[in-house]
Structure 1
């Protein structure tokens, strides 16, 4: 039923939106495309599984530790990639972040194997039925969590001292330093928030689809980059809208054309949209003032 696919598309789009926001925060403020994000997405799901299944911890404790692992991994990337290499050629930190992507993925493969693992969930097969539509509890929770986190992030960036400092760094890092903003203290907070968003996306994905593997981040984060581009580089709400559009396009494509050609339809849609709007849906705004 078509309306059910729309619901599924919104739920899937919420995962793409989280990842898109993570990319947006680093490239919109630091002009740094963090290619380690797929591995941090994977770490959120895999480490949660490891803490729950291997460690025998309660589900919520294991998930919290898995998300924390993603945050710590993001801080490691900041310390050894962005901070040490930010004054070098722009390609150097980007390639270094790819190195962390490979490192994290292979460490997980060494310790846990390369196979798909079943991810436990406390929700079972609990569903809500509204007007003939079926919404699973994990899907509903993921949508609500995404909405709350993005609204909270928007408030932090617009209304708090941390947010004002980040926007000052985005506007002009040298001027921010002159007025007393210590980037070495502020930027790690940005990476920590980005890592938590990404790892949470991995947990939500694993909970919704009941499986994890060392490679779950690759395809999802590709859609996250696409969401960022569709919305307009550096615009958080644009990344959210881009993620939701991608999720809806994917769900409708599978319903209409079948899973075998869904990816073709999705990326044809992306290419068409970029041809019509090269700077994205919100790219006509002042990127410096509206980027976060």
Structure 2
């Protein structure tokens, strides 16, 4: 029983981890809390369902949903960060919240507010190891999420884009003096973080076979908590925070009930922040290259 809950917690935590990493890329590099993240998550999952309903193969549907989410993320960059970065820091934050409401309501107007069931391409396939049952969709999502995080680490540490992101995280002004094209790096960062978040939405729809226009709100709130728990600006902190919150949620449901999940999760978050206000890995930000 404990082993099964442990596996379920890690699989759920993989989704929170992806969302937390997306928040971390925005905040760690730009000091920008992007409230459009829940909408990007929703677009990834909901549009996958919509495209499958149109008769598209699953692979095409996923790629189409990711493409729309990527464009949406670039629109947010252009109309929030790009044109408002010289003003008060709260303006881009509020503008991104406006995009969250806009994207959710566009989907709401087109498809309604009802939750929709989405058939999994894996069916009900599962793998049994002793008494532990591993759902193939959840297992695939966990493996993909871990692979993507390691790929992100490699990109940040070894690629030209990664060096540019770290330079901008240290200081956009200094990065410009050193020849980094900030106006090219930032859109690519939005694209990367937006795809991470949309992929988390696809993973959620694959794992739980349910989508709705507001599916991103609660998940993104847990992802935000994971980022804060791990340490704002730390990619590995976001990874650990996401997995920890996934485990806590599953064990809380098992030991107590679903009604107590939020109390346990956010109560633990507050307790950790009282003891360590910077989070578990708060000194390991993007600019410090401690990924």
Q: TM-score range by the shorter chain?
A: over 0.9
Aligned-partner SS, 1:135: strand
Counterpart for residue 276 of structure 2: 277
Q: Does the 8 Å contact 1:226/1:270 carry over to 2?
A: yes
Q: Is 1:229 the equivalent of 2:228?
A: yes
What is the CA–CA distance in structure 1 between the aligned matches of 2:168 and 2:290, rounded to whole Å?
Answer: 12
Determine the C-alpha separation between the residues in 2 that align with 1:288 and 1:233: 12
| Matched-pair contact (CA < 8 Å) for 1:206–1:212 | yes
* CA drift at 1:92: 0.3
Question: Who is 2:13 aligned against?
Answer: 13
Distance 1:285 1:232 in 2: 8
SS across alignment from 2:279: coil
**What's the offset of the Cα at 1:45?**
0.7
On the 8 A contact 2:235/2:286 being kept in 1, the answer is no
Contact 1:59 1:121 in 2 (8 A): no
Secondary structure at the counterpart of residue 263 of structure 2: helix
Q: What TM-score does the superposition give when structure 2 sets the normalisation length?
A: 0.98
Where do 5+ consecutive residues of structure 2 fail to align? none
Normalising by structure 1, we get a TM-score of: 0.97
Contact 2:28 2:285 in 1 (8 A): no
2:14 aligned counterpart, secondary structure? helix
Please give the alpha-carbon distance, in whole angstroms, between the structure 1 residues aligned to 2:115 and 2:234.
Answer: 34
Query: 1:59 maps to what in 2?
Result: 58
* Residue matched to 1:209: 208
Q: Which residue pairs with 1:174 in the alignment?
A: 173
Say if 2:44 and 2:199, in contact at 8 Å, map to a contact too. Answer: yes
Give the stretch that moved more between structures: 254-263 or 225-234.
254-263
CA drift of 1:125 comes to 0.5
- C-alpha contact (below 8 Å) 2:17/2:242 kept by paired residues: yes
Task: Summarize the alignment of residues 1-292 of structure 1 with structure 2, pairs less than 5 Å apart.
Answer: 1-53=1-53, 55-285=54-284, 288-290=287-289
The answer to whether the 8 A contact 1:233-1:291 is kept is no
| Count of residue correspondences | 291
* CA shift digits 1:177-220 (9 cap, x unpaired): 11211111111110001111000101111111111000100000
